[in-house]
């Protein structure tokens, strides 16, 4: 990759940030900010078609790509922080059911129905990869929509979050099995077991052991310094290490970041209370009535350093839009110009939508449409499947482009439609 | 550059952040945190000498290098925000004098005294580059020490900041002149005039026009959305664009970031007050006595979203240490093992120290030692000079290594000594 100078890269970041914020105009029309970010990304990324190539190098920049990944990692960490681990356990059964149906159905429909029907010239292995690509659930976009709409704490949202994590484990198994079938003609049961066990071990230890470890680490760090920044550094480091470990066992980094957020949600950062701010508040509020003091403490809790969420917020505000604008920029409008390819992609997209929406219907007593549509985006996880198929030579560049169109459509359709179904269902989803 | 995977890069960042925070143990011994960060960087960067190569790829990562640059850009933006433009104007004359002496003296001593004396085999052109390298002032380290010690608002600190900006312009002219003499044997007065005019035009327009533009842009953005993140995005974008423009006219990016901070310090972000927080506070403090309310408002002003400094703080907390740890990591202890090279480097370092400390003595009625030592670090600006000389073939790899040692020594010596002279001189410096 050709890398621009530091100054030019800083300019690119500024351009993305300004574009993202200008795009928040969509909020005026009741749409979540993330839709605006992706749409302005599509516009900027395709300006080259009308002879304006300024934004082209942004797509090629390894630094911007990394910042985008870091942005979605921090977003999912934040979502994890805002998610209560007990609430997640409560929806565990529903999430598991939704995840299973949301993997089995698109796999079967993709590999054995829509694949042979719409792409009869392809091999059975290619159909397998098509099915596998359709099983992916990319939680970044849905999580952002739920946050933008303020419904992250609803039961439906919790089910989608849980199902997406389980989906990532299932996807890992499927990728191993399908790759094994393609390369060796069969797959070793031991390998699949090992991959599954590693992924599950990571998730279980992240939640169980992680809780103990975070407290211990917190005490160690508090002994070094209780000063400013320690709390934020500690929390963010745990997030980054967890994202790394997730990648190490084959899961998506965002699953690791989400798990870290879940763990730290339960950790109380008492040793890090900033003594200066506490002292200043005590001085200022010396004359407050006890009743008002309780109310004031709540306000301060929410808006000052005491809560790790408030420290992550400015970082997430800056970083997350980079991911969504860049996602939009990578949507190539030219690939939509081939009518044959577009038509096939539309057919497969319908299957992609229907199979995930159907999964929502096993979610139990919640707004099932919210759950179903929440599972629709394939995003970068689907891309990994398609890219693996391309790398193994099972699918060619044209089929890869077609899958890109399917992934793009599921990604772009979800924010506006999910907004409608959330609003129609009411906030208690 | 070989780039590690996203997950591994996340792990590197976590390692740097944890190391930086553990190193804040030096604060127990009255030392600024930045010294700890650089020292732990030196340790981590040289662990390969005892057979532990884990940290070696960090030095090679383009992403980490960019994050470090971004970190020091955000730090200088923050320093600019905390600096009052009127106070800067007041010290303008002193800063100009200090900058001039701090450039002329090391240039003359380097090119015509210590160069011919200690390195008689080198050409006159090489001596010129040695002198030019010694003129540089790298403000990142000093600014961080002043911040860590809480003396950024003192007259001495303001003079150093102003002098460093002027030095960067003078350095630009010197680099053009010296490069011109080396490549063409002479230098065109028109070229020097053009370079100087562009740099000055940037600085003047950043401060004068920038002030108007920031307010206009603020109004435009406020019309799009007054929601969360607009204030932060706008401020940071202006910082990044200003850093880019500085690079464009040949100045250091940090000078652009500092100028942006200076400009925005004067901009009041009234349209962006978060209505939710204001409302919540009003509800909670309904029963407070008027006197306590004034005091409380001050506390809230300092710690809530209302002030742009509070939004930049968490970002700077995370980003700035990356720069200082990486700076330490790039200190190669093996280059100190050649006794001949080390001895020459020590001799030149003495000149480097003396010539900048002498500049402090024209600073007028302030703690002159603080001003002088504040000008000592050559850091990455000195590195640019030395690298240009290497690129033009004027100096060889060995002389470049020696200059690296001089730059390293000025960089590592400054934090502990500056701390001592600040403490001895009292806070009003």
3-state secondary structure at position B225: coil
Question: Does A170 have pLDDT greater than 50?
Answer: yes
Residue A321 pLDDT grade (very low, low, confident, very high; cuts 50, 70, 90):
very high
Work out the mean pLDDT of chain A and round it to a whole number. 83
Q: What is the pLDDT of residue B197?
A: 86
Q: Determine the number of helices (DSSP H) and then strands (DSSP E) in chain B.
A: 20, 0
Segment 226-255 of chain A within 8 Å of chain B by CB: 227-230, 232-234, 236-238, 240-241, 243-244, 246-248, 253
Does A78 touch chain B if contact means CB atoms closer than 8 Å? Answer: no
Alpha-carbon separation of residue A28 from A165, B229, B231 (angstroms): 32, 16, 18
pLDDT at A272 over 50: no
Look at residue B97 and give its three-state secondary structure. Answer: helix
Choose from A303, A308, A316 for mutation: most chain B CBs within 10 A: A303
List, as ranges, residues 14-73 from B with C-beta within 8 Å of A. 14, 17-18, 20-22, 24-25, 27, 62-63, 66, 69-70, 73
Q: What tokens were used for A83?
A: 């998610």
Q: Average pLDDT for consecutive 10-residue bins of chain B (429 residues)?
A: 83 95 82 87 92 90 94 90 80 93 94 92 90 89 90 92 89 82 76 84 79 69 62 88 90 87 66 51 62 61 58 87 90 82 92 94 91 89 82 84 87 91 71
Closest residue by Cα to residue B61 from B5, B140, B18: B5
> Could you tell me the pTM of the whole model?
0.84
Token pair for B331? 């200190």
Residue B94 forms contact with A (CB below 8 Å): no
In the prediction, which pLDDT does B299 show? 57
- pLDDT-derived band at A2 (thresholds 50, 70, 90) equals low
A196-219 in b/e burial notation, b at 16+ Cβ within 10 A?
beebeebbeebbeebeeebeebbe
Contact list in A for residue B304 (CB cut-off 8 A) is 303-304
Whether A196 and chain B come into contact, CB under 8 Å, resolves to: no
Q: Chain B residues with CB inside 8 Å of A20's CB?
A: 233
B4 touches A at CB < 8 Å: no
pLDDT at A184 over 80: no
Reduce the DSSP state of residue B143 to 3 states and report it. Answer: helix
**CB contact A222 to B (< 8 Å):** no
Cβ atoms of B315 and B233 within 8 Å: the answer is no
Greater confidence (A291 vs A161) lies with A161
Can you give the C-alpha Rg of chain B in angstroms? 23
Cα separation, B112 vs B358, in Å, equals 18
Is the CB of A285 less than 8 angstroms away from the CB of B284? no
CA Rg value for chain A: 23
Q: What is the pLDDT of residue A297?
A: 62
Quick: pLDDT tens for B62-87. 999 999 999 999 998 988 888 777 77
**CA separation for the pair B136, B383 (Å, rounded):** 9
Task: At B103, list the tokens.
Answer: 């450039």
Is the pLDDT higher at B348 or at A34? B348
Say how far apart CA B267 and CA B222 lie, in whole Å.
14
The Cα A242–Cα B16 span in angstroms is 15
The reported pLDDT for the residue numbered A139 is 86
Which DSSP symbol is given to B262? H
CATH for B6-269+306-425?
1.20.1530.20
By C-alpha distance, the chain A residue nearest B68 is A6
Q: What is the Cα–Cα distance from A423 to A427, expressed in whole angstroms?
A: 7
In chain B, which residue's Cα lies nearest the Cα of A11?
B241
Which chain B residues touch A314 with a CB distance below 8 Å? 229, 232, 311-312, 314-315
Q: Tell me which residue of A78, A71, A175 sits closest to A128, measured CA to CA.
A: A175
Cα separation of A323 and B106, whole Å?
A: 47
Question: Which CATH entry fits the domain spanning A75-264+344-425: 1.20.1530.20, 3.40.1280.10, 2.70.170.10, 3.10.25.10?
Answer: 1.20.1530.20
Show which of residues 96-155 on chain A sit within 8 Å of chain B, judged by CB atoms: none
* Cα–Cα distance measured from residue A290 to residue B428, given in angstroms and rounded to the nearest whole number: 40
Contact A244 B292 (CB under 8 A): no
Quote the pLDDT of residue B392.
84
Q: Any idea how long chain A is? A: 429
Residue B301's pLDDT is what?
A: 55
B225 and A289 within 8 Å at the Cβ level: the answer is no
A62–B3 CB contact, under 8 Å: yes
Tell whether A301 lies on the interface with B, counting CB pairs under 8 A: no
A-B Cβ pairs (cutoff 8 Å, strict): 206
Considering only CA atoms, which of A201, A198, A194 is closest in space to residue A177?
A: A194
CA B299 to chain centre: 30
**B124-135 helix and B379-391 helix, angle to the nearest 10 degrees:** 160
Looking at residue B277, its pLDDT comes to: 54
The label of the residue with tokens 């998730």 reads: A203
With an 8 Å Cβ cutoff, are B237 and A18 in contact? Answer: yes
CB-based contact B85:B262 (threshold 8 Å): yes
Distance CA A205, CA A219 (A): 20
Q: How far is CA A282 from CA A197, A296, B24, B289, in A?
A: 52, 11, 28, 15
Model confidence at A269: pLDDT above 60: no
pLDDT for the residue B137: 86
Residue spans of the domains in chain A: they are 75-264+344-425
Lowest-pLDDT choice from A60-74, A139-153, B344-358: A139-153
Contact A220/B at CB under 8 A: no
B10–A253 C-beta distance less than 8 A: yes
Length of chain B, in residues: 429
Mutation choice for B interface testing from A4, A36, A66 by most B CBs within 10 A: A66
Query: CA B147: distance to chain centroid?
Result: 12
CA angle (A389 as vertex; A386, A390 as ends), nearest 5: 90
Residues 259-278 of B with CB under 8 A from A: 277
Q: Which residues fall within 8 angstroms of residue A194, CB to CB, at 6 or more apart? A: none
- Show the tokens assigned to B231: 């204030």
Q: Are A115 and A122 in contact (CB under 8 A)?
A: yes
Lowest mean pLDDT across A128-137, A257-266, B246-255, B283-292: B283-292
Contact status, residue A183 vs residue A397, Cβ threshold 8 Å: no
Which residues of chain A lie closer than 8 angstroms to B225, CB-CB? 21, 24-25, 27
- Give the mean pLDDT of A8-34: 89
**Cβ contacts of A13 on chain B, cutoff 8 Å:** 240
Q: Would the pLDDT of A390 be above 90?
A: no
Reference B103, options B42, B165, B43; nearest CA is B165
CB contact under 8 A, B287 and A286: no
Q: A266 to each of A80, A260, A302, how far by Cα in Å?
A: 10, 10, 16
Instruction: For residue B66, give both structure tokens.
Output: 């960019």
pLDDT in tens, A287-320: 666 656 666 665 555 544 446 777 788 889 899 9
pLDDT of residue A202: 86
Identify the DSSP state of B332.
Answer: -
């Amino acid at each position: 990759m050709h890398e621009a100078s530091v100054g030019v890269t800083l300019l690119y970041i500024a351009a993305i940030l300004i574009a993202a914020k200008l795009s928040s105009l969509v909020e005026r029309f009741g749409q979540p900010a993330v839709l605006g970010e992706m749409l302005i990304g599509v516009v900027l990324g395709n300006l080259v078609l009308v002879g304006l190539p300024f934004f082209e190098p942004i797509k090629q920049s390894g630094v911007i790509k990394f910042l985008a990944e870091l942005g979605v990692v921090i977003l999912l960490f934040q979502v994890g922080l805002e998610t209560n681990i007990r609430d997640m356990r409560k929806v565990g059964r529903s999430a598991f059911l939704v995840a299973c149906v949301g993997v089995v159905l698109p796999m079967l429909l993709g590999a054995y129905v829509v694949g042979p029907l719409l792409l009869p010239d392809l091999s059975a292995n290619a159909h397998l990869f098509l099915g596998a690509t359709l099983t992916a659930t990319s939680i970044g976009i849905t999580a952002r929509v739920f946050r933008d709409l303020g419904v992250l704490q609803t039961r439906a949202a919790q089910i989608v979050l849980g199902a997406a994590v389980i989906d990532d484990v299932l996807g890992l198994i499927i990728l191993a099995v399908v790759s094994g079938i393609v390369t060796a003609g069969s797959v070793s049961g031991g390998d699949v077991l090992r991959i599954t066990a590693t992924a599950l071990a990571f998730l279980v230890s992240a939640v169980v052991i992680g809780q103990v470890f975070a407290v211990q680490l917190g005490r160690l760090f508090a002994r070094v310094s209780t000063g400013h920044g320690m709390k934020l550094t500690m929390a963010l480091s745990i997030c980054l290490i967890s994202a790394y470990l997730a990648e190490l066992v084959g899961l998506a980094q965002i699953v690791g970041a989400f798990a870290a957020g879940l763990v730290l949600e339960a950790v109380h950062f008492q040793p890090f209370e900033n003594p200066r701010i506490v002292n200043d508040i005590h001085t200022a509020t010396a004359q407050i009535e006890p009743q008002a003091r309780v109310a004031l403490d709540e306000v301060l809790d929410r808006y000052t350093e005491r809560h790790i969420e408030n420290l992550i917020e400015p970082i997430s505000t800056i970083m997350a839009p980079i991911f969504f604008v860049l996602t939009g920029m990578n949507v190539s409008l030219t690939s939509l110009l081939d009518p044959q390819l577009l038509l096939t992609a539309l057919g497969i997209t319908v299957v992609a939508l229907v199979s995930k929406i159907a999964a929502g219907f096993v979610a139990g007593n919640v707004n099932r449409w919210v759950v179903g549509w929440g599972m629709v985006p394939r995003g970068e996880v689907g891309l990994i499947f398609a890219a693996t198929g391309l790398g193994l030579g099972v699918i060619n560049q044209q089929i890869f482009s077609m899958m890109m169109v399917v992934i793009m459509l599921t990604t772009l359709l979800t924010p506006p439609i999910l907004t409608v179904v959330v609003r129609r269902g009411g906030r208690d989803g």
